[in-house]
Amino acid sequence: MDQDQRAVLAQQAYEKAVQYEQDYGCCPQCVLATLQETLGVIDDQMIKASHGLSGGGSLLGEGICGALSGALLALSAKYGRDRDKLASGRGINNFKKAKEFTERFRQEFGGVTCKELQQKFTGRTYDMWQADQYQAFTKERGNQCAHATGTVTKWLVEML
């Protein structure tokens, strides 16, 4: 696939991931489902396993953004250490790619945790276990989480 075709595919993936996040939520699953449909490098078990990573992990906001965690899972699916290689070193190449990706995300969005992004996107943080606060966050964030989800998916299609 040439660079122009890859760019078109990446833009289509951006749009699909944005739509998935708006329709279904759970940004790591939206990243991975879009990659599965676009590049085929993700299986259903990985999409299922990513569910608990949404909202910074368990909807607590304290961990990394769910879109970013989905992206790191995708990078590891491609470049990570295989099970049969556990004793053969740390697999530093994957960590380098993940670090570069995370720094790019930080540069673009001004943080890496869900709470940092909540603050950037809305000026405050939310307890997503409180129905009223979850609804407020959904309203106040607008399309910004969907944009982050689409952006990381686009970047992944460009690089995988």
**Mean per-residue pLDDT over the chain, rounded:** 95
> Tens digit of pLDDT for each residue in 35-87?
999 999 899 999 999 999 999 999 999 999 999 999 999 999 999 888 888 77
HEC profile for 88-136? CCCCHHHHHHHHHHHHHHHHHHCCCEHHHHHHHHHCCCCCCCCHHHHHH
pLDDT of residue 88: 81
Q: Which two tokens stand for residue 3?
A: 């660079």
The structural domains of the chain, with segments of one domain joined by +, span 3-159
pLDDT of residue 84: 85
Per-residue pLDDT for 89 more than 90?
no
pLDDT of residue 1: 77
Residue 87 to residue 65: CA distance in whole angstroms? 30
Average pLDDT on 122-135 reads 96
pLDDT of residue 136: 96
Q: Which two tokens stand for residue 117?
A: 């992004």
Weakest-pLDDT range from 1-5, 144-148, 156-160: 1-5
Per-residue pLDDT for 92 more than 80?
yes
Q: Can you say how many angstroms the Cα of residue 132 is from the centroid of all Cα atoms in its chain?
A: 25
- Give the pTM: 0.94
Q: What percent of the chain has pLDDT over 90?
A: 87
In the chain, the largest separation of any two C-alpha atoms, in whole Å, equals: 49
Backbone angles phi, psi at 63, to 5 degrees: -95, -170
Residue 143 to residue 148: CA distance in whole angstroms? 9
